[in-house]
Structure 1
Amino acid sequence: MRDFFSGVGFFIEGFGWVSRNGRWWLFGLIPAVIAFAVYVVALIFLATNATELATFLTPFADSWSWREGFRAVVGVALFLGGLALAVLTFVALTLTIGDPFYERLSAAVDVLETEDDQPWWRTLPRSVRDSLVTLFYMLVFTIPLFALGFVPVVGQTVVPVLGAAVSGFFLTVELTTLALERRGMARKERFALLRANKATTLGFGVAVFLLFLIPFVAVIAMPAAVAGAALLVRTRLAPTPDPAP
C-alpha cells in the first residue's frame, strides 16, 4: 500500500509544481480545453439521439409490450458507455492535440542533460499509433467489465474497483509516455517498466481517473497530471540525477 499511496503523492506533487509555475498551468490548459469542447459536443449529440440509436440497435424488441422501457434503459446505457469512453480517451486525445504543448511542459518539469530529442511533427505519428494500441488494450479489458456491470451485486461492487484499476493503469501509460520517450524508451519497454512498478503506477493512475470523473475538473487537472507523470518517471520509474546548477 505504501507504493500505491506514493503514486497518489506524485499526482499531488504535480499540482504543487504547476501551482508554483502558473504560466505552465495556463499553457497546458489550451489543448485540454479543446479536447473537452470536442467531448461536450459529442456527448450532447449522443444524449439527444440516444433513444433513436437504441431503437435502431434493438429491432428485435418491436413486438414487445415493454419495448419503450427497455429502450430507455438501453439509451441510458449507451450514454453512460459514451461518458465512460470519454473519460478513458480524454488523456489520449488531449495528449495528441497538445503534443508540442505537453512535450515542453514535461521537459520543464523533468530536465535532462541528454535526451532523445526529435521534432514533434516526427514523433506525432508514433504517438498516435501508440495511443491507438493503448486504447485497444484498454478496451479489451473495459468492454467485458462494462458488460459485467449489469450483473447484480458484482456489477456494483467488484467491477467498479477493477474498472478504476484498469483505467488507472492505462492512464499512467499515456501520461508517462512523454517522459519515457525522451529517455528513448519504446512502447514495449514502457509497458514492462510500468508493470514492474504496478502499485505506484496504479496509485498515480487511479487518482487521476477518479478526479477526471468530475466534469471540467479533468481540464483543470490535465497539466498537473502531465507534471506529476514527469515527476513519477524522474523520481521513481527511471531516476535521473538532478542537472548540475
Structure 2
Amino acid sequence: MRDLGAGFRYLLQGQRWMARNSRQYGFGLLPGLITLVLYAAALVGLAVWGDDLVTWSTPFADGWSGPWRGLFRGFLTAVLFALGLLLAVLTFTAVTLLIGQPFYENLSEKVDRDASPDGTAPESDLPLWRELWVSARDSLRILVRAGLWGVLLFALGFLPFVGQTVVPVVGFFVTGFFLTEELTAVALQRRGVHLRERLALLRSRKPLVWGFGTPLGLAFLVPLVAVFLMPGAVAGATLMARGLMGEETAGDGDGDGGGDGDRGAVTLPPPPPGSPAPGR
C-alpha cells in the first residue's frame, strides 16, 4: 500500500510542478494535440470503412442466407473498432512521446535540475538522431508487448462473468504499467538504462508503478484529458525515475528553480529482496 500511495504522489507532484512552471506547459500540449488528431482521424476512418474491410476479409460469408451474414459481419465490425480503440489507449503515450521527444527530453532535464540538490541533471552522451532512433525502437518493442496484451485481454473479455469483471481490472493495471514504462523511459534512457533493465526495474516495484500509471490510464479514457495531463505526467515520471535510481532529491520538484528542502518529497519503501540494484 505504501508503494501504491507513493506512485500516486509522484503523479500529483508532476502535475503540481507543471502548474508552477506554466511557461513549459503550452509547448507540452502540442505533441498530444497532434497525436489526438491523428488517432481521431484513424478511428473515424475505421468507423466509416470498417464494414467494407470486414466484408472484403470475409468472402466465405457471401453465400450465407438469412440475417446470419449481417449479424456476423456486424459483430466483427464492432470487434474491430473496439480493438482499435483499445490499441489507441495503449499506444497513445508512446506515440505522443515519440512526436514530442525533443520537448519532453528538455522538460525532464528541467525537472531533474529542479529536484537535484546541486541543480544538475544527467545528460545523454548520444546525438539527437541516435536518441530518436533508440526511443522509436524501444517504443516499437513496447507497442508490440502492449498489443499482445490488448489482443489477449480482448479475447478473454468474451468469457462469461470473468470477462466483464476481472479482465477490465487487469486491463487497467496492464495499461498503467506500460504507461509508466513509456513515461519513465524519458529520464531513464538519459541515464543509460536500457529497455530490458527498465522493465526489470519496474517489475520489481509493480505497486509503485501501478499507483502512478493506473490512475493516469483511467484519466486518459476521458477525451482530451490525456493531452492536458501528459506534460505533468512526464514531470512526475522523472521524479519517480530519480527515486527508482536511488538519487537524492532536494524536494518534490515543485518550485521554479532550485529545491525546497525535503518538503513534500516522496520516500520510497525499500525494494523487495532480489530486485535489480539501481544504477547505470
Match of 2:69 in 1: 67
Q: Distance in 1 between matches of 2:35 and 2:172?
A: 22
1:201 aligns with 2:209: yes
- The structure with the largest alpha-carbon Rg is 2
Match of 2:54 in 1: 54
Q: Confirm or deny that 1:82 pairs with 2:84.
A: yes
Q: Which runs of 5+ in 1 are unaligned?
A: none
Letter in 2 for 1:32: G
CA contact (8 A) 2:86 2:150 kept: no
Structure 2 counterpart of 1:25:
25
Q: Which runs of 5+ in 2 are unaligned?
A: 114-119, 251-257, 260-280
Equivalences for residues 1-245 of structure 1 within 5 A: 1-62=1-62, 63-65=64-66, 66-111=68-113, 112-234=120-242, 236-242=243-249
TM superposition score normalised by structure 2: 0.82
Q: Distance between the aligned counterparts of 1:87 and 1:121, measured in 2?
A: 27
> What is the deviation of 1:57?
2.8
Give the direction of change, closer, same or farther, for the CA distance of 1:114–1:84 in structure 2 (3 Å limit): closer
Q: Share of identical aligned residues, percent? A: 50
CA contact (8 A) 1:99 1:120 kept: no
The answer as to whether partners of 2:83 and 2:151 remain within 8 angstroms in 1 is no
Instruction: Kindly indicate which of the two structures has a greater share of residues assigned to helix.
Output: 1
Q: Which amino acid aligns with 1:189?
A: E
Using a 3 Å threshold, how does the CA distance of structure 1 residues 64 and 158 change in structure 2: closer, same or farther?
Answer: farther
Superposition deviation, residue 114 in structure 1: 4.2
CA–CA distance in structure 1, aligned partners of residues 4 and 235 of structure 2: 18
Aligned-partner Cα distance in 1 for 2:189–2:72: 48
The alpha carbon displacement at 1:140 in A equals: 2.5
Q: 2: distance between equivalents of 1:215 and 1:160?
A: 19
Residue 253 of structure 2 aligns with which residue? none
**CA shift for structure 1 position 19:** 0.9
| 2:248 maps to amino acid | P
Cα distance in 1 for partners of 2:121, 2:165 equals 47
**CA RMSD after TM alignment:** 1.7
Q: Figure out how many residues of one structure are paired with residues of the other and give that number.
A: 244
* Pair 1:241–1:79, CA change in 2 (3 A): same
1:13-44, Cα deviation, whole Å (9 max, x unpaired): 11111111112111211111111111111111
Return the alpha-carbon distance in structure 1 between the equivalents of residues 121 and 162 of structure 2.
Answer: 50
